[in-house]
Amino acid sequence: MTESALRFQHVAKRYGAAHVLRGVDLELRAGECFGLVGVNGAGKTSLIKCLLDFCALDEGSISIFGRPHHQPAARRPLGFVPERFTPPYYLTGADFIRYLLSLQGLPYDPQAVAAMLAALDLDADALKRTVRSYSKGMTQKLGLAACLLSRKQLYILDEPMSGLDPKARALLKQQLRTLQRAGGTLFLTSHALADVDELCDRMAILHDGQIRFAGTPAECRAAYRAETLEQAFLTCIA
């Protein structure tokens, strides 16, 4: 049986009177690429914040490779890139990567860093520049590079394609496939259903605080008798 990488059981989250997550049940298998989709405000980031223990659950439980998510050691295998990634503006790109690697107890390997930057189409010159001089896409690439260099078992990527140009998107997809082939598990959110269709082994649609669908993209199209994932999504949330 395939090991469970993440298991959300009856997860509920409220912000005041707003019930954002209302009993989310979801399982990710080790080694798969899983896409979570939903309209703006559906609660995707909130689910990730719960997983990372950035906020408390109101009900339910989450386990990471079988361990309760609130144990710091359970989160050790995770790498995370947030939806709005804002590194300290006064650091250079190299400082930022060095700092993040040092938090993992990893050395700064200039060759590995250069290779990762090239793999994401971020100019090596950016390493010497302070982050305040970066464009939005460059900042996103820096965050992705630092995360993907951290050699984790499970990568949580909240809208990883956000702000990336078409070339960088294509390159990132290659990188994600490489990580998966090396045994990594990927949990990403995306509004680009074509990317989910192309990249993800399985996906889920979060709507009205609950999982409306979970399965492969092909199963999603079949379940809603749709030719495209976009049509299936629209029918699912109607």
Q: Provide, rounded to whole angstroms, the least separation between the CB of residue 211 and ligand ATP.
A: 13
Q: Which of these segments, 38-46, 72-80, 141-149, 166-174, binds ligand ATP (CB under 6 A)?
A: 38-46
Q: Which residues lie below 8 Å from residue 163, measured CB to CB, with a gap of 6+?
A: 136, 137, 139, 140
Q: Which of these segments, 40-48, 102-110, 164-172, 228-236, binds ligand ATP (CB under 6 A)?
A: 40-48
Site string for ligand ATP, 41-70 (x = CB under 6 A): xxxxxx------------------------
- The 3-state secondary structure of 51-79 reads HCCCCCCCEEEEEECCEECCCHHHHCCEE
Structure tokens at 152: 């984790």
Considering only residues 94 to 123 of the shown chain, the ones binding ligand ATP according to CB under 6 A are: none
Task: Establish if 209 lies at the interface with ligand ATP (CB under 6 A).
Answer: no
Task: Establish if 190 lies at the interface with ligand ATP (CB under 6 A).
Answer: no
Q: Provide, rounded to whole angstroms, the least separation between the CB of residue 40 and ligand ATP.
A: 3
Q: Which of 6, 11, 20, 171 binds ligand ATP (CB under 6 A)?
A: 20
CA distance 58 to 89: 35
74-93 as b/e, with b when 16 or more CB fall inside 10 Å? bbebbbbbbeebebeeebeb
DSSP one-letter code for 92: B
Q: Which of 31, 35, 38, 184 binds ligand ATP (CB under 6 A)?
A: 38
Backbone dihedral angles phi then psi of residue 166, each to the nearest 5 degrees: -60, -35
Q: Provide, rounded to whole angstroms, the least separation between the CB of residue 108 and ligand ATP.
A: 32
Structure tokens at 217: 């993209």
Letter for the amino acid at 127? L
Q: Provide, rounded to whole angstroms, the least separation between the CB of residue 45 and ligand ATP.
A: 3
The residues binding ligand ATP (CB under 6 A) are: 15, 18, 20, 38, 40-46, 83
